[in-house]
Structure 1
Amino acid sequence: MTMHPPDHRAGPRPADLSSHDFMRLIEAFGLTGAWRWDFVSGRQVWSSGLYRLLGLPESETASYERLLSLVHPADRDVLEDVVQIVQAGLLGSHTVRLIRPDGTARTVVSRGEVFFSPEGHPVAATGVLLDVTDRERLVEMHRLEQQRRASLAREAQVFIHTEPRLPLTEYGPDFLALVGLRREEVRADWLSPIVPEERSRWRDELPRLAAVGQPFSIAPTLRLAEGGSAPFRMTLVPLRDGTPDPVCWTAVITPLGAEAAARDRPSREAEPAIGVEPAIGVERAIEGCHLRAARGLLDWTLNDLARESGVSLSTVRRLEEESEGPSSRSRPHVLAALRRAGIVFTLIEGAVAVARAE
């Protein structure tokens, strides 16, 4: 039997994609675009994706000066100017902000390359812009959240912590500094932050409460790094992702002042084996300011919250301005949308604490 080599003259199969096809598919998401500049002819070309990224019509003439004009004034000096590119052949990688003609801002990474003649003269340049707005926004949100938590811990001894399961063992550095323990010590014994005389109580009680899978509060006495001890309230809230079992638990740890301790004492005498305060009433305690705070943690606009909750923009605005009370039919939909996005509302000492799950 004679074997014949495959015939390539028929051209590429329909499933084959060229580099141009790949670029077109990638740019269709509106997150990237490319440009090329021929210094000899002076011709500049922008891809369709770049026009979309910049918010410009494709009828506009491609121009590096026009691209620079869209860069935020505070970032403009970061990018190379025309002389640096054409004469010196300089073109680096930078992260800058763009202000599009419609007023919206985007953060982009700019990468480029200059091509040289055999004599070493710059003859052309090409570059690509990648939209990293969401990534940069998440980084900034994370930084602000960490800053907020550090401030709460430093100024008010309030700690917010999330873990996949109970009991808690991976506390942050601020809490570990409060109780004077190393992370390894807490990992080895989750009861170590609690004073020895209460450990047997919480060893039995906390797992039983966690097994119910509902929010609850406990008030253990914690050891302090500088010596002595102090009562703290730990409010623990389960977070679910459409499943019956919690995917993680968020704890809000606050100091239990002398006044609060005196108020709690009668209930402890009546039920000395439990000492647990159920987290109830939070739904009616949530006010418009808490909705705005939750939206701020998510970096959502009013339109975002309206879309995610399925209610009108005007209704969301009325809820935040409290012109609609707790009995509003739309209110549960708004709260459900915020919780799906990771927001936790907790009632602590009669006040609502708003946090975002990590």
Structure 2
Amino acid sequence: MSASIGGTGRPADPTSHDFMHLIEAFGLTGAWRWDFGTGRQVWSSGLYRLLGLPEGEAASYERLLGLVHPADRDVLEDAAQIVQTGIFGSHTVRLIRPDGTARTVVSRGEVFFSAEGRPVSVTGVLLDVTDRERLAELHRLEQQRRASLAQQAQVFIYSEASLPPTEYGPDFLALVGLGREDVRANWLSPIVPEEWARWAEELPRLAAAGRTFSIAPTLRLAAGGRAPFHLTMVPLREGAADQMGWTIVITPHDGGTAATPCGPLPRQVEQAIQGCHLRAARGFLDWTLNDLARASGLSLSTVRRLEEESEGPTSRSRPHALAALRKAGIVFTLVEGGTVAVARSGEGEVAPPAA
């Protein structure tokens, strides 16, 4: 008398078919087979569910190809390539099911050959990776958003497992001109040394409460000078569970004198702008010297002299170059210590007039 599972009369020792049936029950995978000699093609129940087709519909590789998104169809091998050459690779493609829903799947397979080296059959499997691809796309968009905030508004967002912070992102490290090793060796290194004692005592005390808090240290800038920034620490929790880490948002202090793209340029800001700031602004816009010359109506040699400081702060050409940059979205901000911070607002024309 044979044993059974759960009194169903099925063998106690599961077969590979049982495992496949269990996996396919989740609706995320399906398999198919094609015998070239007989022309017989077989699809698993899971493949019908994955493709959104009624079980029992004639299995056909051409039918499978017909469900692939037109833009991805050339990625998969056609029937002739498989039968004649025995080539069948691994690919990620999009499917459009009969009900109009789209799924992203990984297609993998293996071609079997006769003793003479002739392709005789192929077995394939499709794995639904739609959720994985969506997560990857969301992650890419989130990284893009954070990079834009850092480059255009000097806003930096990242996560830490614990405080004090040591895992600053590359954009913030570029702002303060430090390497990751520098910060890991001394988490206070982005801050001006005269404030180290204060924040070394205050930050751990505030973090111990496990609540959202902000500090406003003065940071050392890679381009020279210093500027006050807000660091807001937000605890990460899952429901009422223990704290899982911190999200840190770094923003410029609002006490600086900013020159918005549409408003008048404050005199103290204009006088503090140097050639290096013009070059930095061009870098944000990905403009060449010729681009700035066309946008400002100045000659190439004049723009070059402005960036080399040979024109001087009283040059009549200088306001034209600044106006062109600000029209394209550049913001010049005068922060503590007379340092000029350059950022891009995300507004403005960006592209210079065509030649």
Range class of TM-score, shorter chain = 0.5 to 0.7
1:135 aligns with 2:132: yes
Query: Match of 1:284?
Result: none
Q: Which amino acid aligns with 1:199?
A: W
Which of residues 200, 203, 206 in structure 1 aligns to 2:200? 203
Query: Match of 1:236?
Result: 233
Q: Deviations over 1:238-293 (max 9, x none)?
A: 111234642111011011133599xxxxxxxxxxxxxxxxxxxxxxxxxxxxxxxx
Which of residues 239, 256, 270 in structure 1 aligns to 2:253? 256
Q: Distance in 2 between matches of 1:55 and 1:201?
A: 63
Q: Distance in 1 between matches of 2:242 and 2:120?
A: 63
* 1:231 partner SS: strand
Q: Which amino acid aligns with 1:22?
A: F
Query: Match of 2:65?
Result: 68
Unaligned runs of 5+ in 1: 1-9, 262-358
1:105 aligns with 2:102: yes
Provide the identity percentage. 77
Q: Which amino acid aligns with 1:109?
A: V
Q: Deviations over 1:279-318 (max 9, x none)?
A: xxxxxxxxxxxxxxxxxxxxxxxxxxxxxxxxxxxxxxxx
1:184 aligns with 2:175: no
1:85 aligns with 2:79: no
Matches within 5 A, 1:317-336: none
1:34 aligns with 2:34: no
1:18 to partner: Cα distance: 0.6
* 1:77 partner SS: helix
Q: Deviations over 1:212-242 (max 9, x none)?
A: 1111111111000111100111111111123
Q: Distance in 2 between matches of 1:121 and 1:160?
A: 58
Q: Deviations over 1:38-97 (max 9, x none)?
A: 111111100000011111110311111110011111110000111111122211111111
Q: Distance in 1 between matches of 2:226 and 2:88?
A: 60
1:169 aligns with 2:166: yes
Q: TM (normalized to structure 1)? A: 0.67
Which of residues 144, 154, 157 in structure 2 aligns to 1:157? 154
Q: Which amino acid aligns with 2:34?
A: W
Are the counterparts in 2 of residues 213 and 245 from structure 1 also a CA contact under 8 Å? no
RMSD of equivalent CA atoms: 1.7
Tell me the number of residue pairs that the alignment of Structure 1 and Structure 2 aligns.
Answer: 252
1:15 to partner: Cα distance: 2.2
* 2:89 partner SS: coil
Matches within 5 A, 1:16-27: 16-27=13-24
Matches within 5 A, 1:333-352: none
* 1:247 partner SS: strand
* 1:87 partner SS: helix
Q: Distance in 2 between matches of 1:255 and 1:90?
A: 57
* 2:71 partner SS: coil
- Select the structure of larger CA radius of gyration: 2
1:123 aligns with 2:114: no
Q: Which amino acid aligns with 1:146?
A: Q
Q: Distance in 2 between matches of 1:66 and 1:150?
A: 43
Q: Which amino acid aligns with 1:147?
A: Q
Q: Distance in 2 between matches of 1:28 and 1:245?
A: 35
Query: Match of 1:268?
Result: none
* 1:125 partner SS: strand
Q: Distance in 1 between matches of 2:3 and 2:57?
A: 35
Structure 1 residues 87 and 12: CA distance shift in structure 2, 3 A: farther
Q: Distance in 2 between matches of 1:215 and 1:66?
A: 56
Unaligned runs of 5+ in 2: 5-10, 259-355
Q: Distance in 2 between matches of 1:93 and 1:12?
A: 41
* 2:166 partner SS: coil
Q: Which amino acid aligns with 2:104?
A: T
Q: TM (normalized to structure 2)? A: 0.68
Q: Distance in 1 between matches of 2:181 and 2:210?
A: 27
Q: Which amino acid aligns with 2:44?
A: S
* 1:74 partner SS: helix
Q: Which amino acid aligns with 1:54?
A: L
